[in-house]
Amino acid sequence: MDKDLFTQTAEACKMVTDRFGRDILTDKKRFCAAFGDFAPKLSKEKKALYLALSENTGKYFLREDEAVRSGEITAASVIQRASSELCDYLNPEKSEMVAKSLAFALGWELPEETAVTEDITLIDGSSSVIEELFRKAESGDNDACFNLGERFYYGRGVKQDYEKAVYWYTQSSDRGDCSSQKKLAECLRLGQGAPQDCALAAKRYTQAAEQGDYDSQKALILLYQNGGTGLKKNIDTAEKLSERYGIPLSVSEIDELTEKAKSGSADAQFRLGNIYWLGSGTAADHAEAVKWYKMAADNGDPNAIYSLACCYYKGDGIPCDQSKAAELFMKAALQGDRDALNNLAKCYFMGEGVTRSRSKAAGYFRKAAESGHTAAQYNLAECFFHGWGEDVNYKKAIMWYKKAAEQSMPEAQYSYGWCCLNGLGIQRDLCEAKRMFEAAASQNYTPAKKMLGYCWMNGMGTAKNLTTAVEWFGKAANRGDAEAAEMMVVCYKYGGEYLEKNEAKAKQIAEKFKLDYDKI
């Protein structure tokens, strides 16, 4: 794994969660939009994160967060499991990088990449300096302890290791070193090298603050002002500390945005809505979020109009009103929002909030598709393929499936592959079909995994190999595809190329997936 690339990716993920709150890991679209803002050059990593969050990896990490912090399970075990799941559609190195980046974003202690038998791993030939620091630190020299902590924290002359940094900061902190106390407090606040604990962070900040450290005094006030893991928000304490140290209370981001929002700033209103929606820095309150989305929408903010439309459509934070949702999707679409245009088309397709009209739906899908919207391109292809609002036209369906497939949409890759396999709207091409199924399967798309099983089973685009076929059928079956499970039984029951007949195994699989063995 490229260390520099991982560092950039992990830090950008941390910036997103720090800015918008950890619950943004449940919203792939918003997370990746923010990630793109913080790290515009990491487009491939953004795509990998989008795929991971699409498979609920973020929700999995959040679900296991408390257990990791309590020590019930290790971060390494969560990362390993997530990585193995992601390997279904990302390469192992990318899977590991994504999993570790999400762990870092939550402030978990990351596992060592390799076992380290020595206390340190030197990386710049400064062995004599490091050895001297160790000698002094072990003899009780506070400056040496702090400097060792800094070296491990930043990876200067040694392999970066937050846990070792915390160890050396603690040694000198306990002996009253102000700089170490401040740095240790920051590590505890952020959960770097130790479980996140704002109460312990406050204790260390207090030690440094009482020695006159201005940064620690300010950080301590802010900590009580906002609260955090293990420390309840306490404005009274913050005010007393403010008076004690002569430092005015900082205006919180929410207070600052609220003031701007009340003065009529559409951008502030929309951002405030997002904060309440995601629960970033405050308790999530979708009704409050809707209130601010409405204000921003009334001021013409297209992002707010789209977000408000989604709220009306789902009935989240406000009573469901699909007519209002369709009206707002139209309004946002007229301002150039392609997601809104695609959603408006869906409303017409399903007859949700508007009179059902598949011809209008196809028209709106076309407008969004022509602007480059991937999902709309796929939806338009479906219209041509099935004759929904358009005459059946396999060639046009193929054209739009291919455009969406080229933007890595797994459903489109699968559909394009299916057309290639069956020669619908295009000359039959088994190798291209298999390639498309592989592309979709790499993104964990279950139907594509099953089709790869058939490709290997029947020699479509490749030589027959039932051992490989069973592997793909198994991946699809484990994600709930009953037909794939049945084909696993068939392969073992009758055997074939590179797979010996094994009725015991076939019966075992039938029992596992609750299939009638005698009817297969």
For residue 430, what is the domain's CATH number? 1.25.40.10
452, 477, 498 - which closes a domain: 452
452, 469, 502 - which closes a domain: 452
Same domain, 279 and 326: yes
Count Cα atoms within 13 angstroms, Cβ side, for 371. Answer: 16
In degrees and rounded to multiples of 5, residue 496 shows phi and psi of 165, -160
Same domain, 295 and 235: no
Residue 344 within any structural domain of the chain: yes
Residue 485 within any structural domain of the chain: no
Residue 518 within any structural domain of the chain: no
At 444, the amino acid letter reads N
Same domain, 348 and 398: yes
| Residue found under tokens 């939806």 | 379
Same domain, 100 and 187: no
Q: What is the pLDDT of residue 157?
A: 65
Check: CB of residue 4 under 8 Å from CB of residue 37.
no
Same domain, 375 and 283: yes
Same domain, 306 and 443: yes
Residue 328 within any structural domain of the chain: yes
Q: What is the pLDDT of residue 463?
A: 94
Same domain, 369 and 399: yes
Same domain, 329 and 390: yes
State the Cα–Cα distance between residues 146 and 136, nearest whole angstrom: 11
Q: Considering its fold, how many domains does the chain have in total?
A: 3
Per-residue pLDDT tens digits of the chain, which is 520 residues long: 677 788 888 888 988 888 788 889 988 888 888 888 888 888 888 888 988 888 788 988 998 888 888 777 888 888 887 887 776 666 777 888 899 999 999 988 776 542 222 344 443 434 456 667 787 888 889 888 998 888 888 777 666 788 989 999 999 999 999 999 999 999 998 888 999 898 999 999 999 999 998 889 988 988 888 787 888 889 899 889 988 988 887 666 677 888 999 999 999 999 999 888 876 556 668 999 999 999 999 999 999 999 999 999 999 999 999 999 999 999 999 999 999 999 999 999 999 999 999 999 999 999 999 999 999 999 999 999 999 999 999 999 999 999 999 988 999 999 999 999 999 999 999 999 999 999 999 887 999 999 999 999 999 999 999 999 999 999 999 888 999 999 999 999 999 999 999 999 999 999 999 999 999 9
- Tens digits of per-residue pLDDT, 160-214? 788 989 999 999 999 999 999 999 999 998 888 999 898 999 999 999 999 998 8
**Which residues are 499's β-sheet partners?**
496
Residue 498 within any structural domain of the chain: no
Q: What is the pLDDT of residue 119?
A: 40
Same domain, 310 and 441: yes
Q: What is the pLDDT of residue 327?
A: 97
Q: What is the pLDDT of residue 108?
A: 85
Residue 50 within any structural domain of the chain: yes
Mean pLDDT across the chain, nearest whole number? Answer: 88
Residue 466 within any structural domain of the chain: no
In eight-state DSSP terms, residue 24 is G
Among residues of the chain, what percentage have pLDDT more than 70?
92
Same domain, 48 and 144: no
C-beta neighbour count of 501 within 10 angstroms: 12
Same domain, 275 and 241: no
| Cβ-Cβ contacts under 8 Å for 9 (sequence gap 6 or more) | 39, 42, 45, 49, 97, 98, 101
Q: What is the CA radius of gyration of the chain?
A: 28
Same domain, 325 and 373: yes
What is the residue range of 161's domain?
127-245
Residue 507 within any structural domain of the chain: no
